[in-house]
A and B are shown apart, each in its own frame.
Chain A
Amino acid sequence: DTAVSQTPKYLVTQMGNDKSIKCEQNLGHDTMYWYKQDSKKFLKIMFSYNNKELIINETVPNRFSPKSPDKAHLNLHINSLELGDSAVYFCASSQGLAGANEQYFGPGTRLTVT
């Protein structure tokens, strides 16, 4: 039973296209996150939602738009894809916003923009 799932696992697309990545968690958590891992393996937070409300919005191009239809889902839509968007995108979830709470990560979505 997968705790945090993401679809698709791999995404290859051309510059200028629009694409979405879906994330679902079945842990009953109220907080979900998107992280980006670049080619040098550096991980950086992009967004977080708590009870469907946007809490963290790091310096991310506005071509990236998260959507949380309910507490169990957090999707990431990317418009006008650029070469620099190629990365692995991880969804994560936790209970609450406290620094003490472990975050469970999804398997990642490898996005390749050609």
Chain B
Amino acid sequence: AQKITQTQPGMFVQEKEAVTLDCTYDTSDQSYGLFWYKQPSSGEMIFLIYQGSYDEQNATEGRYSLNFQKARKSANLVISASQLGDSAMYFCALAGGTSYGKLTFGQGTILTVHP
């Protein structure tokens, strides 16, 4: 069974500062993928970043980076230089190698960026 846990219901950050959103996971698959999605108040789901279980380097996409610690089963999202437009719900998701693409989502973290 796959499980994703996001323990921070809400986070606050000042504009231009960095913030880390926590995500831990559990899976029996050796091969799996970890994803982060952003859901602004408008409701759409926006893909941010992906990390494969066999990737040796942490994934980065612009201001987003994924702090992947395989032994700890954590995949934290780091947003650098926060912007007001980063205020949104953020979801961590897991797709196991045997899950046929099924994404298992965490509970989400609401990020609020203060000016």
Interface residues of A (CB under 8 A from B): 31, 33, 35, 40-45, 48, 50, 55-56, 88, 90, 92, 94, 96-105, 107-108, 110
Contact = CB atoms under 8 A, between A and B. Distances in A.
B101 A42 contact: no
A103 B47 CA distance: 8
Interface of B: 29, 31-33, 35, 37, 39, 43-47, 50, 52, 89, 91, 93, 95-97, 99-105, 107-108
A41 B108 contact: yes
A56 to B, nearest CB: 5
Contacts of B103: 33, 35, 43, 45, 92, 103
A55 B29 CA distance: 18
Nearest to A104: B47
Contacts of A92: 45, 103
Contacts, number: 77
A99 B43 contact: no
A96 to B, nearest CB: 7
A97 B91 contact: no
B43 A98 contact: no
A102 B47 contact: yes
Contacts of A42: 105, 107-108
Nearest to A102: B47
Contact of B101 (A43, A101, A104, A107): A101
Contacts of B32: 99
Contact of A107 (B44, B50, B97, B105): B44
A96 B101 CA distance: 8
